[in-house]
Amino acid sequence: MTAKTGKNYWLMKSEPDVFSIEDLAKAPKKTTHWDGVRNYQARNFMRDSMKIGDMVFFYHSNADPSGIAGVAEVVKEGYPDFSAFDPKDVHFDEKSDSKNPTWMMVDIKHVETFKNLLPLEELRKSSALKDMVLLQKGSRLSVQPVTAEQWQAVLKLAKSKLA
DNA sequence: GCCAACGTTGGC
DNA sequence: GCCAACGTTGGC
Protein backbone atom coordinates (compact mmCIF):
# COMPACT_ATOMS: atom_id res chain seq x y z
CA MET A 1 0.00 0.00 0.00
CA THR A 2 2.85 2.39 0.67
CA ALA A 3 5.68 1.19 -1.53
CA LYS A 4 6.64 4.64 -2.68
CA THR A 5 9.17 7.16 -1.59
CA GLY A 6 8.31 10.25 0.36
CA LYS A 7 6.23 10.89 3.38
CA ASN A 8 3.20 8.83 4.25
CA TYR A 9 0.23 9.77 6.37
CA TRP A 10 -1.60 7.78 9.02
CA LEU A 11 -4.30 7.90 11.61
CA MET A 12 -3.98 6.26 15.01
CA LYS A 13 -6.77 5.80 17.49
CA SER A 14 -6.54 6.06 21.23
CA GLU A 15 -9.15 6.27 23.93
CA PRO A 16 -8.44 9.56 25.70
CA ASP A 17 -9.41 8.02 29.03
CA VAL A 18 -6.48 5.69 28.53
CA PHE A 19 -4.02 7.88 26.63
CA SER A 20 -4.95 11.27 25.19
CA ILE A 21 -3.11 13.74 23.02
CA GLU A 22 -2.55 15.82 26.15
CA ASP A 23 -0.82 12.81 27.68
CA LEU A 24 1.39 12.64 24.61
CA ALA A 25 2.19 16.36 24.82
CA LYS A 26 3.19 15.93 28.48
CA ALA A 27 5.20 12.76 27.97
CA PRO A 28 9.00 12.82 28.24
CA LYS A 29 10.34 14.16 24.91
CA LYS A 30 6.64 14.37 23.92
CA THR A 31 7.12 10.84 22.71
CA THR A 32 5.53 7.49 23.40
CA HIS A 33 5.73 3.93 22.15
CA TRP A 34 2.48 2.79 20.60
CA ASP A 35 2.14 -0.46 22.47
CA GLY A 36 -0.88 -2.67 22.83
CA VAL A 37 -1.96 -3.02 19.21
CA ARG A 38 -3.19 -6.58 18.80
CA ASN A 39 -4.52 -6.55 15.29
CA TYR A 40 -2.55 -7.94 12.38
CA GLN A 41 -3.45 -5.34 9.81
CA ALA A 42 -2.50 -2.52 12.16
CA ARG A 43 0.65 -4.42 13.13
CA ASN A 44 1.65 -4.76 9.49
CA PHE A 45 1.39 -1.03 8.91
CA MET A 46 3.63 -0.33 11.89
CA ARG A 47 6.08 -3.08 11.00
CA ASP A 48 6.32 -2.54 7.25
CA SER A 49 5.16 0.87 6.20
CA MET A 50 5.53 3.55 8.87
CA LYS A 51 8.73 5.49 8.40
CA ILE A 52 10.50 8.17 10.41
CA GLY A 53 9.03 11.51 9.42
CA ASP A 54 5.63 10.11 8.49
CA MET A 55 2.80 12.18 9.91
CA VAL A 56 -0.02 10.87 12.07
CA PHE A 57 -3.46 12.12 13.02
CA PHE A 58 -4.10 11.42 16.68
CA TYR A 59 -7.71 10.27 16.95
CA HIS A 60 -9.72 10.14 20.14
CA SER A 61 -12.07 7.16 20.10
CA ASN A 62 -14.77 6.31 22.61
CA ALA A 63 -14.75 9.96 23.51
CA ASP A 64 -17.21 12.78 23.89
CA PRO A 65 -17.05 13.67 21.12
CA SER A 66 -14.80 11.34 19.19
CA GLY A 67 -12.60 12.98 16.58
CA ILE A 68 -9.17 14.03 15.42
CA ALA A 69 -7.35 15.75 18.26
CA GLY A 70 -4.10 16.73 16.60
CA VAL A 71 -0.94 15.70 14.84
CA ALA A 72 2.06 13.55 15.71
CA GLU A 73 5.03 12.22 13.79
CA VAL A 74 6.78 8.90 13.60
CA VAL A 75 10.16 9.08 15.34
CA LYS A 76 11.02 5.38 15.59
CA GLU A 77 10.18 2.63 13.14
CA GLY A 78 8.74 -0.79 13.87
CA TYR A 79 10.26 -2.74 16.76
CA PRO A 80 8.96 -5.42 19.12
CA ASP A 81 6.09 -4.49 21.42
CA PHE A 82 7.57 -5.60 24.73
CA SER A 83 4.25 -5.27 26.54
CA ALA A 84 3.32 -8.58 24.91
CA PHE A 85 6.00 -10.35 26.99
CA ASP A 86 4.95 -9.02 30.37
CA PRO A 87 2.41 -11.28 32.12
CA LYS A 88 1.35 -8.37 34.30
CA ASP A 89 0.60 -6.11 31.34
CA VAL A 90 -3.01 -5.90 30.18
CA HIS A 91 -1.77 -6.49 26.64
CA PHE A 92 0.22 -9.60 27.55
CA ASP A 93 0.12 -12.25 24.82
CA GLU A 94 1.40 -15.63 25.94
CA LYS A 95 1.71 -16.72 22.33
CA SER A 96 4.16 -13.97 21.42
CA ASP A 97 7.73 -15.24 21.64
CA SER A 98 10.36 -12.64 22.49
CA LYS A 99 12.73 -14.29 20.03
CA ASN A 100 10.17 -14.03 17.26
CA PRO A 101 7.76 -11.31 18.35
CA THR A 102 4.25 -11.31 17.03
CA TRP A 103 3.52 -7.69 17.83
CA MET A 104 5.34 -4.56 16.74
CA MET A 105 5.06 -0.88 17.56
CA VAL A 106 6.46 2.49 16.58
CA ASP A 107 7.27 5.62 18.55
CA ILE A 108 5.39 8.82 17.86
CA LYS A 109 6.05 12.37 18.97
CA HIS A 110 3.57 15.17 19.60
CA VAL A 111 3.52 17.87 16.94
CA GLU A 112 0.33 19.83 17.46
CA THR A 113 -2.92 19.73 19.38
CA PHE A 114 -5.79 21.25 17.44
CA LYS A 115 -7.38 24.23 19.19
CA ASN A 116 -10.70 22.54 18.61
CA LEU A 117 -11.00 18.82 18.25
CA LEU A 118 -12.36 17.92 14.82
CA PRO A 119 -15.38 15.77 15.60
CA LEU A 120 -16.30 12.70 13.60
CA GLU A 121 -19.51 14.42 12.62
CA GLU A 122 -17.56 17.18 10.86
CA LEU A 123 -15.38 14.69 9.05
CA ARG A 124 -18.44 12.89 7.73
CA LYS A 125 -19.74 16.12 6.22
CA SER A 126 -16.67 16.52 4.00
CA SER A 127 -16.97 15.04 0.54
CA ALA A 128 -13.17 15.12 0.25
CA LEU A 129 -12.99 12.66 3.12
CA LYS A 130 -15.74 10.24 2.16
CA ASP A 131 -13.21 7.52 1.28
CA MET A 132 -11.23 7.81 4.50
CA VAL A 133 -10.79 4.41 6.12
CA LEU A 134 -11.98 5.93 9.37
CA LEU A 135 -15.35 6.81 7.89
CA GLN A 136 -16.13 3.47 6.27
CA LYS A 137 -18.97 1.53 7.78
CA GLY A 138 -17.81 -0.94 10.37
CA SER A 139 -14.22 0.23 10.13
CA ARG A 140 -12.38 -0.18 13.40
CA LEU A 141 -8.79 -0.42 12.33
CA SER A 142 -6.74 1.39 14.97
CA VAL A 143 -3.77 2.21 12.73
CA GLN A 144 -4.76 3.18 9.22
CA PRO A 145 -3.40 4.95 6.14
CA VAL A 146 -4.51 8.45 5.13
CA THR A 147 -3.93 9.79 1.62
CA ALA A 148 -2.07 13.06 1.04
CA GLU A 149 -5.31 14.58 -0.25
CA GLN A 150 -7.22 13.51 2.84
CA TRP A 151 -4.44 14.80 5.04
CA GLN A 152 -4.64 18.25 3.48
CA ALA A 153 -8.42 18.27 3.63
CA VAL A 154 -8.40 17.48 7.34
CA LEU A 155 -5.82 20.18 8.07
CA LYS A 156 -7.94 22.66 6.15
CA LEU A 157 -10.99 21.71 8.19
CA ALA A 158 -9.02 22.01 11.41
CA LYS A 159 -7.84 25.50 10.46
CA SER A 160 -11.31 26.64 9.47
CA LYS A 161 -12.43 25.89 13.01
CA LEU A 162 -9.94 28.30 14.54
CA ALA A 163 -12.00 31.39 13.80
C1' DG B 1 -25.19 0.73 28.56
C1' DC B 2 -26.55 -1.00 24.07
C1' DC B 3 -25.49 -3.26 20.14
C1' DA B 4 -23.75 -3.76 15.21
C1' DA B 5 -19.77 -5.01 12.95
C1' DC B 6 -15.65 -7.09 13.01
C1' DG B 7 -11.58 -10.44 14.02
C1' DT B 8 -10.22 -14.68 16.15
C1' DT B 9 -10.74 -19.28 17.86
C1' DG B 10 -11.71 -23.95 17.78
C1' DG B 11 -14.77 -28.01 16.87
C1' DC B 12 -15.84 -30.77 13.28
C1' DG C 1 -11.83 -25.30 5.28
C1' DC C 2 -16.31 -24.07 7.15
C1' DC C 3 -18.70 -21.61 10.37
C1' DA C 4 -20.74 -20.85 15.05
C1' DA C 5 -19.41 -18.90 19.22
C1' DC C 6 -17.04 -15.64 21.47
C1' DG C 7 -14.53 -11.35 22.60
C1' DT C 8 -13.58 -6.61 21.19
C1' DT C 9 -14.23 -2.08 19.13
C1' DG C 10 -16.33 2.05 19.15
C1' DG C 11 -20.39 5.10 17.85
C1' DC C 12 -24.39 6.48 19.81
Q: Domains in chain A and their CATH numbers?
A: 9-157 (3.10.590.10)
Q: CA-CA distance, A46 to A37, in Å (whole number)?
A: 10
| Mean pLDDT across A85-113 | 90
A142 touches strand C (CB under 7 A): yes
Helix%, strand%, coil% for chain A, nearest 5: 30, 30, 40
Specify the pTM: 0.92
What mean pLDDT, rounded, does chain A reach? 93
Rounded to 5°, the CA angle A80-A81-A86 comes to 120
CB neighbourhood size of A65 (10 A): 11
| In the predicted structure, residue A161 carries a pLDDT above the cut 70 | yes
Q: CA-CA distance, A40 to A30, in Å (whole number)?
A: 27
Burial of A17 (0-12, 13-18, 19+ CB in 10 A): exposed
Instruction: Give the percent of chain A with pLDDT over 70.
Output: 96
| Residue A5 pLDDT class (50, 70, 90 cuts) | low
A7 touches strand C (CB under 7 A): no
Give the per-residue pLDDT at A93: 87
pLDDT per residue as tens digits for the range A58-88: 999 999 999 999 999 999 999 999 999 888 8
Give the per-residue pLDDT at A59: 98
Burial of A79 (0-12, 13-18, 19+ CB in 10 A): middle
| Residue A46 pLDDT class (50, 70, 90 cuts) | very high
Give the per-residue pLDDT at A95: 82
Burial of A45 (0-12, 13-18, 19+ CB in 10 A): buried
Give the per-residue pLDDT at A163: 53
Provide the CB-side half-sphere exposure for A95 (13 A, CA).
3
Distance in angstroms: CA A44, C1' C12? 30
| Chain B positions with a protein C-beta closer than 7 Å | 5-9
| Residue A90 pLDDT class (50, 70, 90 cuts) | confident
